[in-house]
A and B are shown apart, each in its own frame.
Chain A
Amino acid sequence: MATVDKKEYVVRTKDLVKEFTMGGQTLRALKGIQLDIYKGEYISIMGPSGSGKSTLFNMVGGLDKPTDGTVFINDVDMAQLDAQELAFLRCRTIGYIFQSFNLIPVMTALENVTLPMVFAGLSQDECNERGMELLNMVGLGDRYHHKPTELSGGQQQRVACAWALANAPSIILADEPTGNLDLKTGKEIIDLLKKLNKENNVTIIPATHDLKMLDISDRIVWIRDGYVERIEERADVQLQVGVMENEEH
């Protein structure tokens, strides 16, 4: 903990509250989340289904507005940003990976990957060059002209990883990136994320049920019912993971 203290924060949330109102009924999905995430950290968000992981993820990624509390990205209050600044943030600072990939079905892999670069204002040639680079990195260089429907789930998620990396973001938010994948492909994605984390010093924030994630996380945030239940260092969970994995097999 002591070593991490010296690092700068990338994401901080303060008393983050999110309420959903449906038919007069108010549902508190987040009940005051306090979370500090350091630069270059691999921090998994764990919790049972319905605990509010995706909701937190959306708040942090600037995809939705919190009911109360603040989210700071690189010490900037998200609530203070106007639409253009928010778009800038989404485009260059944060990369998103979704459980259901969310690739644009009508575009080829390359077109999908280059889309964020187009929004970042890169020229077509730069886009194509960097897009191919990224696709090669995720091992799909030869499939660039395939549409998402022509790719397997793991391949799609790898395209999505390349997508998230397009504009060299400092944060990657991944909402259950392995949720729709089998063990082996899930592992590949996890390895890819870890590689990015190590080599590019990208902050990786996956929300997940996948215990394999625990193995490589620097820290694990346990969320239950919209509260941060506990935050564990990797060393603390090492043992537990072994036990759980044994149970699984």
Chain B
Amino acid sequence: MSTTSANKTTVGRQAQLPLGRAFKISMNSLRIRFWRSMVTAGGIFLGIAFLATVLTQWLMQWPVAPKVDAGFIRLDGQINGPGDYDVYKPVPVEAGVQAGIPEEVIKRVQLKDGNNFSLTEIIQGQLQEKRAVRNLARVKKEWQSLSKYEKDLPLYVDILGGKDIKIGDAVKAGVPKAIVAKAVVHGETIEWARLFKELQRTGKPDSITLATALNKDITPAQAISAGIPKDLVDAVMAVPREIEDEEESEDSGPPPPKPGAFRGTLLAKVLDENPDFWTEFRYVNNLRKVLPVYADMAAEKDIRVEEAVKAGLPRKVAEKMASQYPTFKGADLIDIFREQTDGIKPIYLATALDQDITIKDAVRADIPIAIAKKLAGSGKAFKGSSLNDLIKDHPRWIKIWTARVSRNAIFDTAPQAAIDKLAKSYSISLKEALDEGKGPDAKSANLGNLMIVNADGRKVKVNLNREPALAAATPLVSGDYVFIPDINSFYRMWWLVGMSLLVCMVGITNSMLMAVTERFKEIGTMKCLGALDSFVVLLLVLESSLLGICASGLGWLLGFVSMVLLAGFTKGWDVVATMNPWLVLGSLGVCVVAGMVLTLVATILPAMQAARMPAAMALRSEI
């Protein structure tokens, strides 16, 4: 062996290939295994796209501030939920008087302690007055045109509801007399309830029929003595009690029949269902004519005058009822309207027929367009009944707004200059606002990423963790919106990103592992041909980092663009515009680096394993 060390010098050392060559080989390899590479790249692509959406969202200055009332500021987010607070501290009464606020005004808004007053309430009062004046004018104007319908519409809504309408009312409401007359004839009926009363009062029909009509109990003995054949009475008695009970539950009125007796209506029912029972008895024949009418009464149906007379009600009584209560059903009037529409405004007709009224028709009929639109909601038409409801509401609103105007008129006397002067010196600072709004969740507030949105839309980010002194030095103004993000949601977001990247990495590792084992033989061959282990690693790493860069670049593009579009369309383009272009570039950098790191970590282990394997073993593997 002594010769070995001396001879060792005769063997040269294999040099590392220049990077350019390696790069070319890996590009070629990627090109050839295009689709497999695309799958690996897809994993990185999606993972990085998610990271990019989160980063982009982070760069945008959410949220979009809501409108905050004058005199207030709103604290939102992780402090005590969204809450409005007075932007002004209590103002001493003397200061107010000195500034020029009338004493009556101060008296109105004096605080409980008596020494101070609330500036916010003055500002609010002024606003309320202005609002009330505006609203009153609007409601009054609407009422001018709507009041025309005040009288008429309820009638037509009644028609729609199928209620009974008095002839007098209909005529008064403008329904032509001819039409009303027709409607009454059409509905020439007697209402059961009135007929009932009449029957009870006169007591003329015999006791059995009356009992039927009144749904009273009849004993068998009574029935037989009244001339009803015994077998018929027995049949009625034989009807099972359950059926009677059923009849009853529909009635739900009278108690169950006494033992040994039966309900009057049951007699009518049995007669109706069993024609065999009709015998030659005169009385039963008479009953046959009469009982159905009384059964109808018990069932609360309307009965024709003629039928009532035929059934034994004195004609005088029947006619008196029909003339004394000249009513008709709304439904009858609708039928007639359908046939004959002369002289009725389309809007009434639509109401009566329960048809939709289009906004256009409503405007033609003098209904203010604002009201028509309000009633129609998102649609193009509305029902007449809702117009009726609104008309009922209007006088009430006029009253309400009138009261508000008079109540708040006093605040108009406070001069604007005085209010401005006080507002400047008594508004609270950010620190005071935060102290005031501090709730049980305040601990998880992320004071490092606080945002103030002015009433005019200007946004200011404040980092109170870095500069705590800013809190006391930042005065708030009326209408400011302060958003305090939740530190947990911040962590949650990054946790989510971390998890998704981890999952993404597992996926890439898997596909890289497959890519490498698939090439064991190729790697073995290369080693036979003189490739160094480090070259094999370099080749695989180059390949995967090329993939990583391209995929993560594209992933960033997807995430960024989709987030921008989403924010632009849902929250407005001004939110998108708040992004700092340098930070956007930075997010691209972060994404690309993250993608590279992911792929490198995923590749390095399988690559090293493949490179270290003896060439013989690598050659033997068949995949």
Contact = CB atoms under 8 A, between A and B. Distances in A.
Contacts of A103: 525
Interface stretch (B384-392, B412-420, B611-619): B611-619
A68 B521 CA distance: 26
B10 A74 contact: yes
B4 A77 contact: yes
Interface string A109-142: 0000001101111000000000000000000000
A64 B11 contact: no
Interface stretch (A81-89, A177-185, A186-194): A81-89
B529 A88 contact: no
A75 interface: yes
Given A87-B532, A88-B530, A116-B530, A121 B15 contact: yes
A70 B531 CA distance: 23
A62 B614 CA distance: 9
User: Could you say which of B1, B12, B530, B533 has the most chain A C-beta atoms within 10 Å of its C-beta?
Assistant: B530
Given A87-B531, A121-B17, A75 B7 contact: yes
B11 A106 contact: no
A58 B11 contact: no
A70 B3 CA distance: 13
A84 B614 contact: no
B5 interface: yes
Contacts of B33: 106
Interface in B526-563: 526-533, 535
B616 A163 contact: no
Contact of A63 (B15, B28, B619): B619
Nearest to A74: B10
A83 B12 contact: no
B287 to A, nearest CB: 107
Interface in A68-109: 70, 74-77, 80-85, 87-92, 96, 98, 102-107
Contacts, number: 104
Contact of A64 (B5, B521, B529, B614): B614
A82 B15 CA distance: 13
Given A64-B615, A102-B525, A116-B530, A88 B13 contact: yes
A116 B531 CA distance: 8
User: Could you say which of A61, A98, A107, A118 has the most chain B C-beta atoms within 10 Å of its C-beta?
Assistant: A118
Contact of A96 (B10, B521, B528): B528
A115 B523 CA distance: 12
B21 interface: yes
B525 A76 contact: no
Interface in B13-63: 13-15, 17, 21, 25, 28-29, 32-33
B522 interface: yes
Contacts of B320: none
B552 to A, nearest CB: 25
A85 B13 contact: yes
Nearest to B615: A63
A75 B527 contact: no
Given A75-B7, A120-B530, A91 B619 contact: no
Given A63-B615, A120-B530, A88 B7 contact: no
A63 B532 CA distance: 13
A75 B3 contact: yes
Interface string A163-184: 1001100000000000000000
A64 B15 contact: no
Given A64-B614, A74-B10, A80-B5, A115 B32 contact: no
Contacts of A62: 615
Given A63-B614, A77-B1, A90-B528, A85 B11 contact: yes
B599 to A, nearest CB: 21
Contacts of B4: 76-77, 80
Nearest to B533: A83
A81 B3 contact: no
Nearest to B612: A83
A224 interface: no
A106 B33 CA distance: 8
B129 to A, nearest CB: 84
A224 B619 CA distance: 24
B528 A106 contact: no
A84 B13 contact: yes
A231 B32 CA distance: 47
B399 interface: no
Contact of A163 (B1, B12, B529): B529
B521 A85 contact: no
Given A64-B617, A84-B13, A85-B13, A76 B8 contact: yes
A212 interface: no
Nearest to A91: B530
Interface in B489-539: 521-522, 524-533, 535
B14 A91 contact: yes
User: Could you say which of A74, A83, A96, A98 has the most chain B C-beta atoms within 10 Å of its C-beta?
Assistant: A83
Interface string B585-623: 000000000000000000000000000001111010000
Contact of A87 (B1, B525, B527, B616): B527
B24 to A, nearest CB: 9
Given A102-B619, A163-B529, A119 B5 contact: no
Given A63-B616, A64-B615, A91 B11 contact: no
A91 B11 CA distance: 11
Interface string A15-32: 000000000000000000
A85 B12 contact: yes
Contacts of A121: 15, 17
Nearest to A167: B530
A63 B10 contact: no
Contacts of A70: 1
Given A58-B616, A77-B4, A85 B14 contact: yes
A88 B10 contact: no
A61 B615 CA distance: 10
A143 interface: no
A209 interface: no
User: Could you say which of A64, A70, A87, A91 has the most chain B C-beta atoms within 10 Å of its C-beta?
Assistant: A87
B617 A90 contact: no
A116 B527 CA distance: 10
Contacts of B29: 106
Contacts of B32: 106
A65 interface: yes
Contact of A98 (B10, B532, B619): B619
B533 A76 contact: no
A119 B530 contact: yes
Nearest to A55: B616
A61 B7 contact: no
B101 to A, nearest CB: 88
A84 B615 contact: no
A92 B3 CA distance: 22
Given A77-B1, A80-B4, A65 B614 contact: yes
B530 to A, nearest CB: 2
Contacts of A76: 4, 7-8, 10-11
A89 B521 contact: no
Nearest to A14: B1
A111 to B, nearest CB: 8
Contacts of B533: 83
Interface of B: 1, 3-5, 7-8, 10-15, 17, 21, 25, 28-29, 32-33, 521-522, 524-533, 535, 614-617, 619
30 contacts: A63-B524, A63-B528, A63-B616, A64-B615, A65-B614, A74-B10, A75-B3, A75-B7, A76-B10, A77-B1, A80-B5, A80-B8, A82-B13, A87-B532, A88-B11, A88-B14, A88-B530, A90-B529, A91-B14, A92-B12, A92-B530, A104-B525, A104-B526, A106-B522, A115-B529, A119-B14, A119-B529, A119-B530, A166-B529, A167-B530
Given A58-B616, A63-B615, A116-B529, 5 more contacts: A80-B4, A87-B531, A88-B14, A119-B529, A166-B529
